[in-house]
Structure formats: C-alpha cells, structure tokens
Amino acid sequence: MDCSYKDGMKAWVFLLTMIWSAGAPCAEVTEEEARNAFGDVHGVFVLRDCASGEETVFGAETADTAFGPCSTFKIWNSLIGLEEGIITEPDALFWSWDGEERNFPAWNADQTWRSAFAASCVPAFQDLARKIGEERMQEWLEKLDYGNRDQCGRPDAFWLPRAGQKTVLITPREQARMVCRMIDGKLPVKAESVAKLTEVMKLVNTERGTLYGKTGSGLRGEADGPKSEVDTDMGWLVGFVESGGKKYAYACLVLGGGLAGKDARRVAEAVLGSAGLL
C-alpha cells in the first residue's frame, strides 16, 4: 500500500470524527471499506462541508489537476438555461428529436429537461448551448468563474473531450467548491433556478440522506469521443449530499480504461454510505 493511500485513510478517519462531532449521522469507515470503495481504481474524491468550508480529499495528488468536465457541465448549462428563460419546467418539452439514430438509444426520442438530464442526452444540451449563444455563454462562464472559462472555439461542445480538440478545464476541488457556492446562494443566480435544478439533480434518497448529482464520462484524447457506454477512460460524479440537516458538496473522478460516470457514482455512494451520510 503506497503512502498517499495511507494518508488518504487518515484523512477519512479525521473527517468521520468531524462529522460525528457536528451531530450528523455517522458510521465509522474502516481502511478496508475505503479501499473497497476505490479498489484498484485511480481517482479522487473531494468532500466539502458547505457550512464550515472544511474539505477532505482522498487522492489529493489529483484534486488540483484540471480535466474536461464531460457531462457534469450539464449542471451549469442547465442553470444558465434557467437564468436565460430557455428552460422553464422540468417536465416541459426541452428538445425535439432530430431523427438521427445515435449509439445511445435513450437519446433517440423527444426529451423533457428532466429526461435529457437523466439520460445525459448530449445533442439536447448542445442545442441548449446554441440557444444560449457563444457570447452569452462566455459572459456566464466569467460570472460563475467556471474552471478556466475557455470555450476553446467549440461553443456547442467545449465541455466534451474529443481527439485533438481542447475543452474547458476544471479541477475536482473546483467542482466541489462550485456546487457549494450554488447551494449556499453565493452565485449570481435566482434561488428559484437553483431549486428547480436541484430537483432534477436528485439521484437517491435514503433514511440517512439525499444524494444529488450529475455523472460525466469521456475519453482523454485517445479517440473521437465515446462510441458506447464502455468506450471511456474517465468518469465523474459531481453534486452534493444532504444529511443530518447539513449539505456537503462532492466531486468524484475515476481514471482508467473502461471507467465512466457509473463507476464514479458507485465509488461516491460507497464512500458517502460508509461516512454515514447516505
């Protein structure tokens, strides 16, 4: 076992003690449980207490490395769409299928905002970006202080990794801090927009807490984008968990051949469950 992993385990023990003393529900996480969450997967998990600003990081060597956000940008694309009045309600028609058969069957149908978000329907959110427009999108990237704020000359795809093309870049730590700023009301957006967005982001509810988030999957430049659900080498889950009257933002990133957003979600749910938050 390498030293960085041992340091990560110590950090998790400290975190769990902190959560317990703050009165949130808690279950002690053993070294074996934490190891089982990540297994042999390389990655990072950032957890931020949105009230205190306390952060705990597993895989600290990767927490401040910037990556393309993949479909986690749908959180911010949606928020901008709400603020601009392009998106209205979760179950209203959001995108009319253009008739093109794509590799992901769920995309081959009309979409509401809720269904498009759940299916991570890329063409629907590319259409949203085009409606927002390059100029307005840039204004919002600046206002939100999102990553390196660079559309890379790809105004309807700048968040999607593609061979030989740049993406906007953001670190796992920045992802978690962005979510905290949103749910704490520290972004220049309406509370109503945040409320609608968090409703759509809801993933699972347990007796301990409620998980909100968005997955993202992609390739880091090895090919022209994923062609199937397993043709990926990076996976994100970004969002927050509400537990014991407190909110914790998180960003989970996994890296390696065949890994995708579903793998990041598996790791995140295991870690949060072991921490007594979910």
Query: CB of 166 within 8 A of CB of 151?
Result: no
Whether pLDDT at 150 is above 50: yes
Which residues are 225's β-sheet partners?
A: none
Residues 190-207: what's their mean pLDDT? 98
Give me the mean pLDDT over the 194-202 stretch.
98
Q: What is the pLDDT of residue 221?
A: 58
For the chain, the domains span: 3-274
Residue 52: is its pLDDT beyond 60? yes
Alpha carbons 268 and 254: distance in angstroms, whole number: 10
pLDDT in tens, 88-121: 999 999 999 999 999 999 999 999 999 999 999 9
DSSP-assigned states of every residue in 221-243: SSSSS-SSTTS-SEEEEEEEEEE
CB 65 within 8 A of CB 72: no
pLDDT at position 81, please?
Answer: 98
Residue bearing tokens 């809801």: 202
- Asked whether residue 148 carries a pLDDT value surpassing 90, the answer given is yes
Compute the distance between CA of residue 177 and CA of residue 193 in angstroms, rounded to an integer. Answer: 18
Evaluate if residue 10 carries a pLDDT over 50. Answer: no
Mean pLDDT over 169-194 rounds to 98
Q: Closest Cα to residue 257, out of 236, 235, 232? A: 232
* pLDDT band (50, 70, 90) for residue 231: low
Computed over every residue of the chain, the mean pLDDT equals: 87
Strands (E), the chain: 42-49, 55-58, 93-95, 111-112, 202-205, 209-218, 234-243, 246-255
Q: In a 3-state reduction of DSSP, which class is residue 211?
A: strand
pLDDT tens-digit series, residues 65-87: 999 999 999 999 999 999 999 99
18-27, 66-75, 164-173, 228-237: range with highest mean pLDDT: 66-75
Segment 16-51, tens digit of pLDDT: 434 433 444 433 444 556 667 899 899 999 999 999
Stated length of the chain? 278
Q: What is the pLDDT of residues 117-140, one digit of tens each?
A: 999 999 999 999 999 999 999 999
Which fold would CATH assign to domain 3-274? Beta-lactamase (3.40.710)
Contact 236, 261 (CB under 8 A): yes
pLDDT score, position 161: 85
Which residues on adjacent β-strands are paired with residue 234?
218, 255
